[in-house]
Every structure is written in structure tokens, then in C-alpha cells.
């Protein structure tokens, strides 16, 4: 029988990481599973490398867990196949690569190559799906606050509260490959490597993670009142954003600098960074 080592994040799926990781047993039959808390392993990649080659190492969790994995990985030195099984509340990466939670574990080594890097505050890290400030950063920050109090709300509920009063739009200056544009009343300002974020919002339909130049796309959603923003947000969720060129500005490049008029929260693959006034993204070198 095949041997599986399942590395799970206990904080994934709102604290049900282990429970959700065990769903792998429903799609992989006739195998022996060992489960281990990835947060208790100092370097999961080194740990995985020490496993017998016949043992399949599977990371489980959501986009945030994947982000931690890719930032451990040295793609030039790591030579064993690593598998991924989605067991988180945020699975935008899974959506972007055309899979679902019933697909079972799949090798992700190839997806970990050519990733962009974000520099913000004292953080420098890769991201596998996308980053964003504005309403999405607000949603992640608010979700963290609720979780700390033992409460929870859906992303849609938090976004609706933000649209109708709690989130304050900001001014932003965005430079993409040396060209600068300024935007007033910015609602969302993500820079994407994939197409989806926020639990299925198709914010960037034309972005292609497989493009040979490894470019990213920065999207400025701006210059709308609250009611118009709500209506447009529903269209963005459906992937129809490009129909509103005066309200959504899509810019693709290899180097993005975002400067904000006031501090906001930023999310990196769903993980929150607070008090952000500037971030910079570098596409991977060819």
C-alpha cells in the first residue's frame, strides 16, 4: 500500500485543518496515512526531503499554507515531488489551475517556479496567487479580528459591510514598469499572478500564471460611489470587470510600485499585513 505523509495546518479551515485534511482518505483509497502538524516543523521542506522516496508528501491547507510552502522552497535544490490537497477556506490557487477539492492531491512543484516577489514593510516574500490592498485587505483584517474573538463571517458579508460604510477608499499612485498613474477613491488595488482572489472573485480574467515572461497584472478599481461600487463588485465577482474600463484599470508588467494616501491592510495569498502605505512587486526573472 502507498504511504502518505500529510502535513496539515491546524489553523486552516477556521481551525479545522486536521479534520479537513483527513478528507484525503475519501479520494485516495488503499493507502496508509500519517498526519503531522506543519507548524511544529521548523523547515517543512528539509523535513520532506528526509522522507523515504516511496512516501508521498502532501501539504494540505489553503492559499496561506501554500504561500508558506513556496517561501521555504529552494526550487534550484529541491528534487522530490511534493503534492497538494486543498483543505482551506481560501482556495483561489486551486480554482485558477482548474481543479477542485474533489480532484485529490496533485504535484505542485511546477507551479512553484517563476513566482513574483512582494516587498512590503519589513517583509519580502514570494506569492503564488495574488496580493491586494483595499476592500480585500480590509476583509482579511476584519476576518482576523473576528476570529480572535471567536466569531466569523463570510467574505461576502464582510465585503458588503465594507462597501456600505466601514471601508474608506484611498488615493493611490501606481507605477508599472516606469509608467505612473494616480487614482482617487480606490476600492481595490490587487496585483495578481493568478486570476482569482477573495474566495472565487475573478478579479483579473486575462492574467495568465503560465506566461513565459512571468508578468503580473495590477488592477485599480476606483472612482465609484458606494452604490455603484456594490453593483460593479457583483460584475467583478462574475469576471466581467473589463466591461468597465473607466472604473477598472488593468496594467500588466514586471515591476509594480503602489503608494497609498493612507495606511491600509494588505493581503498576501490571504494572509494579512497591516499599516501598509507602500508595496512593491517584482516578477521573476526569465
Residue of 183, 201, 198 lying closest to 247 (CA atoms): 183
Residue of 280, 285, 282, 269 lying closest to 212 (CA atoms): 285
Whole-number pLDDT of residue 229: 54
Coil, strand, or helix at residue 90? coil
Burial class (CB in 10 A: 0-12, 13-18, 19+), 199: buried
Strands 2-8 and 31-37: parallel
Whole-number pLDDT of residue 193: 98
Whole-number pLDDT of residue 232: 57
Task: Tell which CATH architecture fits domain 117-282.
Answer: Sandwich (2.60)
2-112 is a CATH 3.40.930.10 domain = no
Q: pLDDT tens, 208-257?
A: 999 999 999 999 988 665 555 555 565 565 555 555 556 789 999 999 99
Q: In what order do the strands lie in the sheet with 82-86?
A: 31-37, 2-8, 55-61, 82-86, 106-107
Q: pTM to 2 decimals?
A: 0.88
Contact assessment for residue 84 and residue 12, using Cβ atoms and an 8 Å cutoff = no
In the numeric block, the cell 514570494 is attached to 126
Domain chopping of the chain, boundaries: 2-112, 117-282
Q: pLDDT tens, 124-148?
A: 999 999 999 988 899 889 988 888 8
In this prediction, the residues of the chain whose per-residue pLDDT falls under 70 are: 74-78, 88-90, 223-246
Whole-number pLDDT of residue 243: 55
Note the helical H segments in the chain. Answer: 12-15, 17-21, 24-27, 44-49, 63-72, 92-96, 135-148, 155-161, 226-237
Whole-number pLDDT of residue 235: 59
Identical fold for domains 2-112 and 117-282, yes or no, is no
Whole-number pLDDT of residue 237: 55
Whole-number pLDDT of residue 259: 98
Q: What is the largest CA-CA distance in the chain?
A: 60
DSSP class of residue 201?
Answer: B
Whole-number pLDDT of residue 239: 54
Amino acid at each position: 500500500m502507498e504511504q502518505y505523509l500529510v502535513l496539515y495546518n491546524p489553523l486552516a479551515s477556521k481551525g479545522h485543518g486536521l479534520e479537513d485534511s483527513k478528507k484525503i482518505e475519501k479520494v485516495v483509497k488503499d493507502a496508509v496515512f500519517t498526519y503531522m502538524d506543519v507548524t511544529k516543523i521548523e523547515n517543512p521542506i528539509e523535513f520532506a526531503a528526509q522522507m523515504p522516496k516511496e512516501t508521498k508528501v502532501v501539504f494540505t491547507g489553503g492559499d496561506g499554507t501554500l504561500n508558506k510552502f513556496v517561501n521555504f522552497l529552494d526550487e534550484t535544490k529541491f528534487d522530490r515531488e511534493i503534492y497538494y490537497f486543498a483543505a482551506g477556506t481560501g482556495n483561489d490557487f486551486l480554482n485558477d489551475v482548474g481543479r477542485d477539492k474533489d480532484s485529490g492531491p496533485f504535484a505542485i512543484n511546477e507551479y512553484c517556479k517563476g513566482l513574483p516577489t512582494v516587498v512590503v514593510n519589513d517583509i519580502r516574500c514570494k506569492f503564488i496567487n495574488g496580493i491586494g490592498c483595499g476592500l480585500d485587505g480590509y476583509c482579511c483584517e476584519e476576518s482576523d479580528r473576528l476570529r480572535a474573538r471567536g466569531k466569523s463571517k463570510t467574505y461576502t458579508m464582510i465585503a458588503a459591510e465594507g462597501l456600505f460604510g466601514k471601508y474608506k477608499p484611498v488615493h493611490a499612485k501606481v507605477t508599472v514598469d516606469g509608467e505612473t498613474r494616480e487614482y482617487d477613491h480606490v476600492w481595490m488595488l490587487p496585483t495578481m499572478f493568478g486570476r482569482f482572489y477573495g474566495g472565487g472573485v475573478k478579479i483579473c480574467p486575462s492574467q495568465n500564471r503560465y506566461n513565459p515572461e512571468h508578468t503580473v497584472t495590477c488592477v485599480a478599481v476606483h472612482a465609484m460611489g458606494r452604490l455603484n461600487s456594490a453593483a460593479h463588485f457583483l460584475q467583478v465577482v462574475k469576471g466581467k470587470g473589463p466591461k468597465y474600463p473607466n472604473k477598472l484599470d488593468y496594467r500588466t508588467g514586471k515591476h509594480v510600485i503602489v503608494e497609498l494616501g493612507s495606511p491600509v491592510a494588505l493581503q498576501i495569498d490571504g494572509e494579512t499585513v497591516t499599516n501598509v502605505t507602500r508595496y512593491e512587486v517584482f516578477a521573476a526573472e526569465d
